[in-house]
Every structure is written in C-alpha cells, then in structure tokens.
Amino acid sequence: MTPMTSDRPTTFLGGVAVAFVLAAAGAAVFAALTTVLTGSVAIRATSTLVAGAYVLYLLSRSNERTGRIVTIAVWLSGAVSTSVFAPSLPLFLVAHGVMIWLVRTLYFHASFAAALFDLGITGLAFAAAIWAARTSASLFLAVWCFFLVQALFVAIPEDANAQAQSGSGFDDQPFKRAQRSAGAALRRLANSINH
C-alpha cells in the first residue's frame, strides 16, 4: 500500500467544512424522514446516507483509481448487511464507522501504524458524538462532532510505521503527552456523563 496523493488534497479545514455540510444535511434528512418513518428507521437511513456521502467524499479526494467500483460495491453490501443484521442502533453505527475507517485505511494510509492511529481517531469521534448527543440532544451537533474529529485523520504522518520501527528521528514524547491528555479528557467526559 502506498500513500495516495490528490490534485485536490484533503485538509483539516476541508474536513471541517464537509463535517458541517454532512451535519446540516443529516439533520434535514432526519427531520424529513421522521414525517414518514419511525425514528429508529429514520436514524438508520440518515446514518447510511451520511456515511455513504462521506465515503464518496473520501474517494473523490484520492488519486487512486484502482478498486473504486469494488469499494463502493463492498460498502453498499456492508450497508445493506448492517441494516439487516445489526439489531441495535449502537452496533449499526459502529459498523458504519468501521466501514469508513476501512475506506480511509485503503485509500489514505500506507502503514499499519497509520491505520491504527486512524482507528483511534474513529473511536475518539464516536466518543465526541456520544457526548454531543447526550449533552445537547441535537443530531446536528452529534454528526458534526463525529465528522469534525474524523477530519483529524489528515494529521496522521504517512511514515509513522517506518519511524516507529527504525526508532531514529521519532520523538514519541509529544505523542505520549497527547495520549495522556486524550485519556484525561475521555475520563472527564465519562465522569460528566455518569453524573
């Protein structure tokens, strides 16, 4: 796997804009769907549409042309299977998050370490979305927080695996500080949710 570059590079600010658009569209679609569907079906349909739009955005930002049709077909199959076989909403949402992570791993990361960092970002995105949903009861804020944190994937160094294996030139102190800070933030978040 090699890192993919693009004529339209993926940036954090671009990810913030996409997060806002997806959140606004998701809230509007959910509001429209709840007039004709139950809330549970509407949230599943909205989540599938928003996740599909994000996958298409990711594919549009990658220069790699190989496998796009297969990726879309597999994603669609996964979305249908998730709709049929995921009995609970949390499992349904996690399955969509994992599918997004897999697409990003295939099209944007060249190393196992980078993919693991990206998986951590996906977990943090879920934590942010849960926090936003519980504190605000706003679908717009939950979706926006989820994709806002997802926009951080552009900060993952492409050569993270090579640096970690060689041990030369890789100062892990900033990462350890960030890891401790993130852990403390998650503990505070968990404590605020439980109280």
**How many other CB atoms sit within 10 Å of the CB of residue 41?**
13
pLDDT of residue 114: 93
Look up residue 34 and give its two tokens.
């709840």
**pLDDT exceeds 90 at position 4:** no
Element (H, E) at 185: helix 173-194
- The rounded distance, in Å, linking the Cα atoms of 28 and 98 is 24
Residue 29 burial (CB < 10 Å; 0-12/13-18/19+)?
Answer: middle
Q: What is the tens place of the pLDDT at every residue in 117-140?
A: 999 999 999 999 999 999 999 999
Domain residue ranges of the chain, discontinuous segments joined by +: 12-161
pLDDT of residue 186: 66
Instruction: Note the pTM of the prediction, 2 decimals.
Output: 0.78
pLDDT of residue 174: 75
String of DSSP letters for 87-104: -SHHHHHHHHHHHHHHHH
Angle between helices 89-108 and 112-136 (to 10 degrees): 140
Q: Model confidence at 190, in pLDDT bands (50, 70, 90)?
A: low
Look up residue 183 and give its two tokens.
């852990």
Look up residue 172 and give its two tokens.
């892990």
Inter-CA distances, 125 with 4, 98, 130, 132, 170, Å: 23, 12, 9, 10, 26
In the block, tokens 């944190």 appear at 149
**Rg of the chain (C-alpha set):** 17
pLDDT of residue 185: 66
Look up residue 16 and give its two tokens.
């913030």
Buried b (16+ CB within 10 A) or exposed e, 100-115: bbbbbbbbbbbbebbb
Cα diameter, the chain: 59
